[in-house]
Structure 1
Amino acid sequence: MTTFPKATSRRILVVGDAMIDRYVYGEVTRISPEAPVPVLLTRESTVRAGGAANVAANIAAMGGTCELLAAVGDDDQHRELAGLLAIPGLTTDLVVGRTGVTTEKTRIVSGRQHQIARVDRESRVDPETLAELERRFGLALDRVGMVVLSDYGKGVLEPIARLIALARARGVPVLVDPKIAGAERYRGTHVLKPNGAEYRLLFGACPEADLPAHALAAIRAHGIDHLVLTNGPAGMITVSADGRVRRHPTRALEVYDVSGAGDTVLAALAVALGAGEELDRAVDLANLAAGIAVSHAGTYVVTARDIAERLGRSEGGSEPPGIPALMTLEATLSRVQRCRATGGRVVFTNGCFDILHPGHVRMLRAARAEGDLLVVGLNSDASVARLKGPERPVNTLADRAEVLAALATVDCVVGFEEDTPRALVARIEPDVLVKGGDYAGGDIVGADIVRARGGRVVTTAFHAGHSSTATMGRIRA
């Protein structure tokens, strides 16, 4: 099966700790004279939906119909969060408390990946707000087919045992991402999804070899149907109350940022199970979705198209159904629009990429680290011949595109017929334009277009000794 399951009309209710994830990017070039701390010269900032709100946004992006129930403060942050969640397939029911604030996490990042500090803003939820949230939860059970509880320990899910029991009594399955100790709180859960640390907090530590038996005894003792244990690079383990155990290895992708990966897993599980998939298949899809999420900087909303594209590559297809390695400009612009709709940053680079070599790979990796979506403009065969001579290209446009699209760092490959990508840059309007270190800043085509929009132009490190022309010369020799 090389397609992501088509979501049904079954509405999914997400309840939990919704928050704002803010990222402040800049460069550290010196230490403060006032204290031994780095000084960050800020460059830009982005804001994304976090916590339970990120779970809900992912469900909607994966094609699910979702409703978010959460508690927020009466502040600018809750209004900002509501704006971030105004997306197709998602409705929100935000209970505004009379006291307290909307949870916000601000991450201070040097470059694109090195997080040097995090500043949190949060407060406990008052009893009146919790009571109102529980009342609305009971009403929502009449219109949903599944409940997802996303617990970040901020207080919204203090009555989690009652919520699970109420949903169970109404025949609505519950998926839980736990945070708080006390395994009895989760009695009656259909799928419990802890990570390694959370598992030990709930059920105690055990040797790795004894984990399946230990987990089986634990879920049977607490009336839990299935356990999905996420364990980072070690992948996932599913244990069911009927005794079935399966290990799911991690999908190999480059890791840029693990923020929100657990949210992505929870969302993909909900959408896949809601569409009627068996648990093992749902976990495989969630595993793959998490691999996509961590390959992006910051909290990233994974779409059904992202998963379908990755499925096509990973399950033996030369290209995903309906999503060729070489994308049309219209399809590329659609991906760009979806990226920006979730607060993402678009990066563009271009070249002939005739014989791919380590210099290309390193440049593409550096380019991908600059944002959330990397679009590669690829010269047509005629364009390469005009630039490089009649013997080039060695590989056709379709072959070059397929090789590039197979790289985890590359999100879109789009061709162009002209000798320069200037028209393509004007259409895509990237936030960051990247070229290899052999280009001087003034020689980069489209740099003026990007800078005029407030974007950045970046040249990566030059890697001497790697070039397609030199490779061809060695072959001739």
Structure 2
Amino acid sequence: MVVVGDTLLDRDVDGAVERLCPDAPAPVLNERSALERPGGAGLAAVLAARYGGDVVLVTALADDAGGACLSELLSAAGVKVYALPMRGATPEKVRLRADGRVMLRLDRGGAPGAVGEAPDAALAALRDATAILVSDYGRGLVRQPDLRAALGRASAPVVWDPHPRGPAPVPGVRLATPNEAEVRRLASAGSSGSEVDGGSRIAVATAGAQELRRRWRAGAVAVTMGADGALLCHAGPTPLVVPASVVDGGDACGAGDSFAAAVTVALAGGELMSRAVEQAVRDATAYVSSSLLSSSSPRPSPGGVGRDAAGEVLSRVRAAGGQVVATGGCFDLLHAGHVATLEAARRLGDCLVVCLNSDASVRGLKGPERPVVGEADRARLLAALGCVDAVVVFDESTPEAVLTWLRPDVWVKGGDYGSDAAELPEADLMRRWGGQAVLVPYLDGRSTSTMIAAAREGAR
């Protein structure tokens, strides 16, 4: 695969602060160690090589000590570099850190727009690529006319990690990967902003992603949401939210590059878009986890059953300005697939309320032999899970009435996310109060019907 973009030299200076400067109210950092590494598109290329496959980096390097250092570091990481000439100094980002905490960041070099012509070998690499990642850091490389024209003609899938100071992706990219702040800024530019500024966090990200997908004529837009994973707007109207596993601490610098590199490697291998995003979230989480500074957060306390318990949760969370998440289902014979969906849903907000079909409702939906487990036991089992804050039982065939009472910010369902994904039945209802319906990945191979069939077969 080929990575295209601006490369920087990152230098982390670590030390300790034991006194203040005598001539200014500033701490004095006693340097203990320094680490130089590729940053920007260079980091994305190194990570892509780590995730698998041969990687070519098309970038711009100055003829100076910084450029030579980057060339050596990239070569050692197994990345082949095709460099455009750069006028001036190689861009550097220096982070001064005391006890692992950043005190100051110094940026120098790399005047925007100081990029020369693309060599023929770089353009040939783009023609022959199995996948292309454009890692734009807003310094002008992807505005270079020959490179941009070659990206527009590429037959391989193109993933574009945009920058607010950079150009729009070429039309027809397979996937764009902005973060939340970039979505708000980019989607609001040139529009009224009303469709991307209101509603819950998920609704705002969804509206912005859909606007960018339309404007850029992109196949999909994946919004990276930091510790909360990613939101994918693909073919259907309902987004897929892929939560990250819980990570407390760690250095998130470079997590976006990790996500973009991993998703491009997965697409180059022929993976479906939804699966590629899931893999990228896992890899980005592992990247952050590798620099953990503290242990994981404590397990939440179990929830309660009934409208009174749910009402208390809603009042507390809304008084604090939090987000209410709800999900629903029969949850007959609770299994690992259910738990995965519930855990993923809980990470999307500040509380999770489960809307549980009553015994009568389950019989109407599943037939006279269901449920296997009664509603009281099903509710108690759900409420005992650490990720569930409250359980509300309803008798109707759909959760419309209980949702109208709860008015959650996010409604979550577990399921596949394919090209023919239809809008969730509850999506229109959620829009009445500015809520958002989302899908989360479903754990394959788990189903209550399969468990019941296996139990009956074993009893014969």
Tell me the TM-score normalized by structure 1: 0.55
2:64 to 47, 57, 75: 75
Asked if structure 2 preserves the Cα contact closer than 8 Å seen for 1:63 and 1:89, the reply is no
Give the distance between the partners of 1:178 and 1:259, measured in 2 at CA: 16
Alignment of 1:223-372 (within 5 A): 223-243=217-237, 245-297=239-291
1:131, CA displacement in angstroms? 2.7
Aligned twin of 2:17: 28
For residues 390-439 of structure 1, give each alpha carbon's deviation from its aligned partner in whole angstroms, at most 9, with x where no partner exists: xxxxxxxxxxxxxxxxxxxxxxxxxxxxxxxxxxxxxxxxxxxxxxxxxx
Aligned twin of 1:355: none
Of 175-184 and 226-235, more deviation after overlay is shown by: 175-184
Give the distance between the partners of 1:181 and 1:78, measured in 2 at CA: 23
Q: CA RMSD in A?
A: 2.5
Aligned twin of 2:105: 118
1:206 to 193, 197, 218: 197
Give the distance between the partners of 2:82 and 2:230, measured in 1 at CA: 32
| Paired residue total | 284
Secondary structure at the aligned position of 2:117 is classed as: helix
Aligned twin of 2:5: 16
1:149, CA displacement in angstroms? 0.7
Aligned twin of 2:364: none
Secondary structure at the aligned position of 1:153 is classed as: coil
Provide closer, same or farther for how the CA distance between residues 48 and 201 of structure 1 changes in structure 2, counting only shifts above 3 A. same
Provide closer, same or farther for how the CA distance between residues 136 and 101 of structure 1 changes in structure 2, counting only shifts above 3 A. farther
Secondary structure at the aligned position of 2:142 is classed as: coil
1:184, CA displacement in angstroms? 4.6
1:58, CA displacement in angstroms? 0.5
Asked if structure 2 preserves the Cα contact closer than 8 Å seen for 1:177 and 1:192, the reply is yes
Unmatched segments (≥5 aa) in structure 2: 189-195, 293-338, 341-460
For residues 301-325 of structure 1, give each alpha carbon's deviation from its aligned partner in whole angstroms, at most 9, with x where no partner exists: xxxxxxxxxxxxx99xxxxxxxxxx
Give the distance between the partners of 1:244 and 1:142, measured in 2 at CA: 34
Pairing 1:105–2:101 present: no
1:182, CA displacement in angstroms? 7.5
Equivalent position amino acid for 2:43 in 1: N
Alignment of 1:417-436 (within 5 A): none
1:38 to 13, 27, 38: 27
Asked if structure 1 preserves the Cα contact closer than 8 Å seen for 2:180 and 2:205, the reply is no
Aligned twin of 2:174: 190
Asked if structure 2 preserves the Cα contact closer than 8 Å seen for 1:20 and 1:105, the reply is yes
Provide closer, same or farther for how the CA distance between residues 169 and 114 of structure 1 changes in structure 2, counting only shifts above 3 A. same
Secondary structure at the aligned position of 1:131 is classed as: coil
1:173, CA displacement in angstroms? 1.9
Give the distance between the partners of 2:73 and 2:116, measured in 1 at CA: 23
Pairing 1:95–2:70 present: no
Give the distance between the partners of 2:187 and 2:113, measured in 1 at CA: 29
Provide closer, same or farther for how the CA distance between residues 170 and 23 of structure 1 changes in structure 2, counting only shifts above 3 A. closer
Asked if structure 1 preserves the Cα contact closer than 8 Å seen for 2:13 and 2:96, the reply is yes
1:154, CA displacement in angstroms? 1.9
Equivalent position amino acid for 1:262 in 2: G
1:225, CA displacement in angstroms? 0.7
Secondary structure at the aligned position of 1:172 is classed as: coil
Give the distance between the partners of 1:32 and 1:15, measured in 2 at CA: 43
Give the distance between the partners of 1:281 and 1:272, measured in 2 at CA: 8
Equivalent position amino acid for 2:96 in 1: I
Provide closer, same or farther for how the CA distance between residues 125 and 206 of structure 1 changes in structure 2, counting only shifts above 3 A. closer
Provide closer, same or farther for how the CA distance between residues 17 and 181 of structure 1 changes in structure 2, counting only shifts above 3 A. closer
Give the distance between the partners of 1:294 and 1:147, measured in 2 at CA: 24
Give the distance between the partners of 1:79 and 1:142, measured in 2 at CA: 27
Pairing 1:177–2:171 present: no
Secondary structure at the aligned position of 1:84 is classed as: helix
Give the distance between the partners of 2:13 and 2:207, measured in 1 at CA: 45
1:185, CA displacement in angstroms? 4.4
Give the distance between the partners of 1:82 and 1:66, measured in 2 at CA: 14
Give the distance between the partners of 1:102 and 1:222, measured in 2 at CA: 31
Give the distance between the partners of 2:179 and 2:156, measured in 1 at CA: 24
Give the distance between the partners of 1:288 and 1:70, measured in 2 at CA: 27
Secondary structure at the aligned position of 1:290 is classed as: helix
Pairing 1:85–2:74 present: yes
Pairing 1:148–2:133 present: yes
Aligned twin of 2:118: 132
For residues 421-475 of structure 1, give each alpha carbon's deviation from its aligned partner in whole angstroms, at most 9, with x where no partner exists: xxxxxxxxxxxxxxxxxxxxxxxxxxxxxxxxxxxxxxxxxxxxxxxxxxxxxxx
Give the distance between the partners of 1:195 and 1:62, measured in 2 at CA: 21
Equivalent position amino acid for 1:57 in 2: V
1:100, CA displacement in angstroms? 1.2
Equivalent position amino acid for 2:4 in 1: V
Pairing 1:216–2:207 present: no
Report sequence identity in percent. 32
Equivalent position amino acid for 2:110 in 1: S
Equivalent position amino acid for 2:231 in 1: I
Provide closer, same or farther for how the CA distance between residues 89 and 77 of structure 1 changes in structure 2, counting only shifts above 3 A. closer
Give the distance between the partners of 1:38 and 1:144, measured in 2 at CA: 49
Provide closer, same or farther for how the CA distance between residues 259 and 220 of structure 1 changes in structure 2, counting only shifts above 3 A. same
Secondary structure at the aligned position of 2:267 is classed as: helix
Unmatched segments (≥5 aa) in structure 1: 1-11, 299-313, 316-477
For residues 242-287 of structure 1, give each alpha carbon's deviation from its aligned partner in whole angstroms, at most 9, with x where no partner exists: 5452001122123221111111111111111111111111111111
1:214, CA displacement in angstroms? 4.5
Alignment of 1:372-387 (within 5 A): none
Give the distance between the partners of 2:177 and 2:3, measured in 1 at CA: 15
Give the distance between the partners of 2:167 and 2:31, measured in 1 at CA: 43
1:35, CA displacement in angstroms? 0.4
Give the distance between the partners of 1:183 and 1:57, measured in 2 at CA: 24
Aligned twin of 2:410: none
Aligned twin of 1:4: none
